[in-house]
Amino acid sequence: MNQTTLRKEFRLTGMGLHTGRTVTVTVRPAHPDFGIAFRRTDRFNIVTVPALATQVSETARGTTIGSGRHCIATIEHLMSALHGCGIDNALIELDGGEVPILDGSARPWLQQITRVGTREQDAPRHLFTFTEHLRFENKDTGSVFEVEPADTFSVDCVIDFPKSVIGRQTATLASLSQYESEISMCRTFVFLHEIEPLLHLNLIKGGSLDNALVFVNKELGPRQLRRLERTFHKDASQIRVHDGVLNTTDPYFPNEPARHKLLDFVGDVRLVGCPLQGHFSIYKPGHKANASFSKYLIEYIKNK
C-alpha cells in the first residue's frame, strides 16, 4: 500500500481546553515521506515540530510536543483522527499553542478529513509489522502494553478506576475500519473532584459540560450545584447527575471512558512516526505511559 495525504486543506476553529483561547487549525496535504508535523504561525521564528514521541515535552493533561514558545498542546485527538483515517503525510498549522478541544472527541477532525477526502501518493507506505511478542511496563503509572503479531492494527484496552463510578471497563478496536463508528465520537472524561481545584485556579478555561463527561463519586448538595452553575454558566435546572455523570448529555456507550482512552492511545502511538501492524493489549493507558511506550517502540524499530 502506498502513502496517503489529504486531497486538499481544511480549517477548524475552536477553543483550547486549558488556555480558553480561540485557535484556528489548518491541516494541509504534505509530500511523500514528510510525515505528520505541527507548526505555529503566531511566532516570528516559525519552527516545524515533527509529531514524534521524542518531541513530547508534557503529558500532565494531554500530549504536548515542542518546547518553550513553540510547544503545541493537546494534539492527541487530531493525531487519533489522522491515524484512524490512515493519513501518512500532513502539515498542521495553528495560530496558537493548543489544538482546540471542540466536542472532546476526534469526530470533528475525522468529519473534515472525510469531507475533503484523501489521495494515494506515489511512494510506498513505511508500515512496521511486529513479528514477535513485546511487553512494556510503566511502573510510575502501573500501565502495561503488550504487542502480538497480527494482520492488522487492533487494540484491546482495559481501564481500572477502583472505588469510582467508572470502575473497570474494556474496549476493543478490531481494525482501523471500525474507528469511525466505534471510537471517534467518544469524549474525554474527568472526575469532578479532580477538576474542582483546577477550575478554582482558572486552569481549564475552555472546559464545559459540552466537551467532556464529568463523573461524580458523591451526591451533590445545593451549595455545590450553585457553584457549578456559576462555573459552567448553566442554569441549575440544566445541571444533573445521571448514573454518576454530571452532564446535560448522556454517554454514547456504557464504556465510553474506555473507548476514549483507546482513542487517545490511537493518537499517541502514532507518535512512533509510522503506521504499525500488530495487536495491542493495553492496561491503564494514559498520556504519560503512552508517550513512554511510543519512545520505546521508536528505539525498538530503529534496531530491527
Taking alpha carbons only, the member of 63, 97, 68 closest to residue 83 is: 63
Closest CA to 261 of 121, 65, 125, 105: 105
Q: Pick the catalytic residue: 18, 77, 260, 287?
A: 287
C-alpha cell recorded at residue 133: 511478542
Q: How far apart are CA 46 and CA 83, in angstroms?
A: 25
Active-site residue flag, 287: yes
Which amino acid does the sequence have at 198?
L
The number of angstroms, rounded, from the C-alpha of 193 to the middle of its chain's C-alpha atoms is 22
Q: What is the largest CA-CA distance in the chain?
A: 62
Q: Which residues participate in catalysis according to the annotation?
A: 287
